[in-house]
Amino acid sequence: MSAVKIFSGTESKYLAEKIAHQYGTDLGDVKISKFSDGEMCPAFQESVRGCDVFIIQSTFAPSDNIMEVLLMVDAARRASAKYVTVVAPYFGYARQDRKDKPRVPIAAKLVANLLTAAGADRIMTCDLHAGQIQAFFDIPVDHLEGASVFVPYIASLGLENLLFAAPDVGGTKRARDLAKIFRSNMVICDKHRERANEVASMQVIGDVTGADVIIVDDIIDTGGTLCKAADILIEKGANSVRAVITHPILSGKAYENIQNSKLTELVVTDTIPLRQQSDKIKVLSVGELFGKAIRKIHDNESISSLFIKGLSI
């Protein structure tokens, strides 16, 4: 069986080290040089000939992260790697998955095309903004679930009147999946936007009186929607409001919004590093989850045991 070598892009090294440790190896040596104009040139400092290469890089801002991983894939291909897997715990541009108005791109499809054209054989990611983005790829996609790390934590809280909430209609499946595991109910926060990152109005569909509510979502950007939902849920009689959200983009005034909100706690993963610390934000690592997935993929084993379906508490 071919050897496994795990490499990291510049911005995801903090997570790649955890993944490699879980797998039981050290990160491979790659040097990423930059010309004075910002042009990048990655170079593997060890042989990858005949190896199964895993390149770990989330595609969060800056956009250089995407170019960096494309160049690393191309370099691995040209160095005769046997199989190249891009591990993108956070797959950027996933919110642009359709034409919702005239004369705009479908950026998620474009990024998928770029990764495939660069020579990637497989993509591994976590909580795509829309599951159907998997169909944008003509190569295998392993779509892991952030809920796999959230479930044990939620169970440890010992909340008696647990209720799950979707922050919008599009997030109902995530909330429903967790509600099934905990044999709980769910509500929906129906929102209306007039422009990006700005909620014009919101209403709660369902009864939250006396409940300990957990809002479930894949991405938190400015935190405006989440904080507004938390405030409304408390107004409607909820006992407490927490949120479990996989990808903490946390742009603009997000940290200030969260700190000033009625949220008891925001639980996120480390697919994207935090820009600053907050006593309201708890980070759970997906390093173990991805490390196990890499081992199963290399050993040609099913990864279904890593998903939350069929779990019960």
CATH of the domain at 74: 3.40.50.2020
In a domain, 313, yes or no: no
Q: Are residues 111 and 182 in the same domain?
A: no
Contact criterion met (CB below 8 Å) for 154 and 214: yes
Residue 165 has pLDDT above 60, yes or no: yes
State yes or no: is 34 an active-site residue.
no
Residue 54 has pLDDT above 70, yes or no: yes
Instruction: Indicate the SS3 state at residue 175.
Output: helix
C-alpha pair distances (Å), 224 with each of 83, 142, 227 = 42, 31, 5
125 is in an annotated binding site: no
Mean pLDDT along residues 17-44 = 96
Q: Are residues 156 and 256 in the same domain?
A: yes
In a domain, 156, yes or no: yes
Closest CA to 41 of 80, 8, 68: 68
Name the percent of the chain lying above pLDDT 90.
Answer: 85
Reduced DSSP (H G I as helix, E B as strand, rest coil) percent helix, strand, coil of the chain, to 5: 30, 25, 40
Q: For residues 220 and 167, what is the distance between their CA atoms, to the nearest angstrom?
A: 11
- For 27, the token pair is 């990160």
Q: Are residues 262 and 153 in the same domain?
A: yes
Which of 191, 228, 253, 292 is an active site residue? 191
Contact criterion met (CB below 8 Å) for 136 and 108: yes
225 is in an annotated binding site: yes
Name the pLDDT band for 1 (thresholds 50, 70, 90).
Answer: confident
Closest CA to 55 of 13, 22, 110, 94: 13
Q: Are residues 18 and 139 in the same domain?
A: yes
Mean pLDDT along residues 301-308 = 92
In the block, residue with structure tokens 């919008």:
168
Model confidence pLDDT, tens digit, residues 257-274: 999 999 999 999 999 999
Name the pLDDT band for 238 (thresholds 50, 70, 90).
Answer: very high
Residue 309 has pLDDT above 60, yes or no: yes
Model confidence pLDDT, tens digit, residues 61-76: 877 999 999 999 999 9
The number of angstroms, rounded, from the C-alpha of 200 to the middle of its chain's C-alpha atoms is: 26
96 is in an annotated binding site: yes
98 is in an annotated binding site: no
Q: Are residues 213 and 266 in the same domain?
A: yes
242 is in an annotated binding site: no
Name the percent of the chain lying above pLDDT 70.
Answer: 95
77 is in an annotated binding site: no
How many domains are there within the chain? 2
Q: For residues 30 and 69, what is the distance between their CA atoms, to the nearest angstrom?
A: 12
Query: What is the predicted pLDDT for the residue at 61?
Result: 83
In a domain, 28, yes or no: yes
In the block, residue with structure tokens 């950027």:
92
In a domain, 312, yes or no: no
Torsions phi, psi of 24, nearest 5? 105, 30
Q: Are residues 105 and 228 in the same domain?
A: no
In a domain, 311, yes or no: no
Model confidence pLDDT, tens digit, residues 179-234: 999 999 999 987 665 555 555 567 888 999 999 999 999 999 999 889 988 999 99
Query: What is the predicted pLDDT for the residue at 201?
Result: 65
Query: What is the predicted pLDDT for the residue at 313?
Result: 64
Q: Which domain holds residue 257?
A: 147-284
Q: Are residues 231 and 172 in the same domain?
A: yes
DSSP string of 23-58? HTSPPP-EEEEE-TTS-EEEEESS--TT-EEEEE--
Q: Are residues 48 and 105 in the same domain?
A: yes
Mean pLDDT along residues 175-179 = 94
- For 182, the token pair is 């905990």
39 is in an annotated binding site: yes
279 is in an annotated binding site: no
Q: Are residues 34 and 63 in the same domain?
A: yes
26 is in an annotated binding site: no
Q: Cis omega (within 30 of 0) on the bond before 89?
A: no
Name the pLDDT band for 311 (thresholds 50, 70, 90).
Answer: low
Contact criterion met (CB below 8 Å) for 71 and 40: yes
Q: What is the average pLDDT score of the chain? A: 93
pTM for the model:
0.93
Q: Are residues 240 and 177 in the same domain?
A: yes
Distance between start and end Cα atoms, the chain: 38
The backbone region for 184, taken as left when phi is positive above 0, alpha when psi lies in -120 to 50, beta otherwise, is beta
Query: What is the predicted pLDDT for the residue at 301?
Result: 96
Torsions phi, psi of 189, nearest 5? -100, 105
Contact criterion met (CB below 8 Å) for 223 and 203: no
Query: What is the predicted pLDDT for the residue at 169?
Result: 79
Mean pLDDT along residues 110-138 = 96
